[in-house]
Structures are given as structure tokens and as C-alpha cells.
Chains A and B, each alone.
Chain A
Amino acid sequence: MTIDMSQFFQVFFDEAEELLAEMEKLLLGVDVNSPDPEDLNAIFRTAHSIKGGASTFGLADMTEVTHILESLLDKIRKGEMALTAEHVDAFLAAKDILKMQLDGHRLGSAVDLDAVGDVRMLLQSFVQEEIKAKPTIVADLSAHVKTHHENEKFHHRFSVNFSAVGDEDLKLLTTELSLLGAAKSEKRGSDSALIVLETNGSEDDILAVCSFILDVDKITIEREEIAQTIDDSSGKSEEELGYGFFQPLDAMFPPDEHQDAQREAKKSRGKNRSRSISKRWKSRCKKRSRKTCWHSGIKHDSRWY
């Protein structure tokens, strides 16, 4: 049965409106010099919830903005990045953009795409500044950049070729693309380079990331598929299925020996009771000269008498 997701849009729109208002209130009240961890968690949750709903209901534009916002907020709440007044201003600008996008979906009002692009670039710039502030993150051009994708299974491998790219830009590109998966960079010639990226993202995702650093006409992309381990009888991997279990379903809850023993004991008592009842009823039926036992419905055996 196909369910029309648009019936849930209004609830999401109302919910997102409330979350954006809460985000604004928390951002305006946060102490940049000594932020309350609970406030940071709460701000993160607003972005996280909006992103969850936007992606579930297919609102890609809001998903993209909240994705970057959520990533930055996650770093800040975990102490990996310090909160600054500039961050707060950028987050408030992102909130305004999300409100505009929300109204666009709900009311059909115009969305200023240039403004959206500007805010995305602003948020991305915080990511890049964080990378520049920690140059040890990318020390070697030929080294793998390890991210939290380390143990993730990927479906696609892209060879991303860059022409007219400097060392600094290549470092940024490598680290940015590492957000999408596992990236390995290699210098080719004086101003050309290759990044091999294993990811579950798409070519569009790669171009979206690179376009902040380099002109897209300096980028060529080739793609190949990566063979997956089959974990499911349907022939698809867990990543493709989008779900998984920690044990096989039939072994999820092994038989409880104590309960089984109790059940068996109960059954046995039941049988014995039936036999003794049968004897009693036979005796009564005999006394009443019934041809058929009214208890069991069984015709009487002449041997009973």
C-alpha cells in the first residue's frame, strides 16, 4: 500500500517552525565565552530534528543546509570546535534561510537562492577555517585522510581529477571530500592532482563540495562500483537495505530453558489430570449408563463395563 507522505507535511511545517524559533531563542541566549553544554545539545537537536524531518519528507534544500549546520553544531557540542560570536551570527543567518525555505514549501513564497548559497558558503568556511587551524589533519598529500567513515562500507569509487590546483587547495579538497567518505590524494605534475574517493554519495555531492574551492570546469570525475559483501538473503548489503540486525532473526532471543521446562512440566501435569479425569468420567458414565461420554464425546467402549 502506497502512503501519500504529503499528508504529514503540515505537521512537519508546524514542527519545523517551532524548532527554528527554539533555535533562535537558544542562539540569542547562549553565552559564547562559557556555553552551557545543555544549551549546545538543545541547539544541535533542533538542527538534527529539522534535518531528519526534511530528509524523510524529501525536502532536499532544507536537508542540505541543516546537514552542514548540524555537522558544525555537533563539533561544537563535543568540544571539537570552540563556539564564537561569528558562529552564532552564521547560525542565526542559517536559521533565517531555513525559515525562508520552509515558507517556500508551505506558502509557495520566493526563495532567494543566492542568499542560500551565501549562507552555505559561510558555514563551509567555518569547516575550512577549522582545517587550516589544524594543519596536522592533512600532513601528507599521498596519505589517507581518516574520518569517522573509517569502518563504513562504501558503494562507489570516484576518481576526481583536478587541473590547475595548488597544494593548499588540494589539501582543502582532500579534507572536504573526506566528509563524504574515504579520500586519498595524489599529486600529478606541477598543478594537477587526483583524489580517489570511496563514498556512498553521488557525483553531484562531490561537485557541490569542490565548487566552493575550485571552478567545476577544472574537475573531471570517473566512477566505478565497489563490490559489496552480501549480508542479506535478498542479495543486498545492510547499507543498501538501510537496516540491519545484530543477530540473525531466528536467534534474536534464544529459547529460555527455564521457561521451556516450566511449560513442559505444566503440559505433563495437564495430561495426567486428563487421564484421571477420564477414569472418573468413565466411572460416572458407567453409573449413568450413558452410551456416549458427555464429557469427552467419545463413544463408550463395552470393555469399560
Chain B
Amino acid sequence: MAKTILAVDDSGSLRQMVAFSLKAAGYQVIEAVDGQDGLEKAKNQVVDLVLTDQNMPRMDGLTLIKSLRALPTYQRVPILMLTTESSDDMKAKGRAAGANGWLVKPFDPQKLTEVVKKVIG
């Protein structure tokens, strides 16, 4: 059974690129337009991996990560941050929130698929 990924980003074009790339690689993808939408969809269905942008309206990425880690069903689901920077400060905040790693924007579909395969196979 195909693994499911939750992709959270307020950019429609980026979500579309991520969804297209990962579906082409054999994954199922659920899209969310911001952190709040992502949290609601995560509660409806436990996924195998969460990819989340950071700067979003309604609920940002760090808040989403913390909220997911507060759910019993998301204690062991990998969460990766999609970020435009890889500073130590960003990494520290992400790690403290409960993220497992990061992927720096811009990234191409090949790199995205490579990272996802490393994490969930």
C-alpha cells in the first residue's frame, strides 16, 4: 500500500509541484494550504510523513509541528521542515518543536523524492 505524505504550504504552485513529484514516485499526497488546515487533515488521517513550510498564515510551521507532536498518533511520524534558510537558529527551533529534519528551498523534484525515500522508503 502506497505511503501517504501530508504537504503543507501556502504556495499553490509549490504544493502542486511537490504533489506531482511525489505522486510520480508512487506516494499518496494530501495537500494543506496552511498550518491550521494541515492540523485538521492530520487529525482526520494519520500519514507516514509530514512536509511543512514555515511562514504561513493562520498557523506557521513551527506551531503546526508542536501541535502534531502533542497528538498521540503523531509521536512517531517523521516531520520535515521546508525552509528558505538553514541557519543554526532555524535548526534549533525546528528541533525543539519536534521536527526530524529540513529541506532547503529551492529544491527540485529529484532532491525532494530522494529525501522522502531516505526517510520513509
| Chain A contacts to B: CB under 8 angstroms | 1-3, 5, 7-9, 11-12, 14-15, 42, 44-45, 48-49, 51-53, 55-57, 148-149, 151-152, 238-239, 242-247, 249, 252-253, 256
Residue from the list B13, B86, B88 in contact with A8, Cβ < 8 A: B13
Instruction: Give the chain B neighbours of A151 by CB distance below 8 A.
Output: 87-89
A73: shortest Cβ distance to chain B, in Å? 11
Is B105 an interface residue, CB under 8 A from the partner?
yes
Using CB atoms, name the residue of chain B closest to A51: B84
Contact across chains for B106 and A52 when beta carbons are under 8 A apart:
yes
Using CB atoms, name the residue of chain B closest to A38: B57
Instruction: Give the chain A neighbours of B11 by CB distance below 8 A.
Output: 12, 15, 49, 52-53
Residue from the list A8, A238, A243, A252 in contact with B16, Cβ < 8 A: A8
Residue from the list A12, A148, A249, A256 in contact with B119, Cβ < 8 A: A249
Contact across chains for B95 and A246 when beta carbons are under 8 A apart:
yes
Contact across chains for A56 and B106 when beta carbons are under 8 A apart:
yes
Number of interface residues of B (CB under 8 A): 41
Residue from the list A1, A53, A238, A249 in contact with B118, Cβ < 8 A: A249
Given contacts A53-B14, A245-B119, 20 further A-B contacts (CB under 8 A): A3-B109, A7-B20, A8-B17, A8-B20, A11-B13, A12-B11, A14-B12, A15-B12, A44-B55, A49-B10, A55-B106, A56-B14, A56-B106, A56-B107, A242-B86, A242-B103, A243-B107, A245-B100, A246-B91, A252-B100
A274: shortest Cβ distance to chain B, in Å? 27
Contact across chains for A3 and B13 when beta carbons are under 8 A apart:
no
A16: shortest Cβ distance to chain B, in Å? 8
| Chain B contacts to A: CB under 8 angstroms | 10-14, 16-17, 20-21, 24-25, 55-57, 76, 78, 80, 84, 86-89, 91, 94-95, 99-111, 115, 118-119
The 5 closest A-B CB pairs, nearest first, are: A12-B13, A245-B101, A151-B88, A56-B106, A11-B13
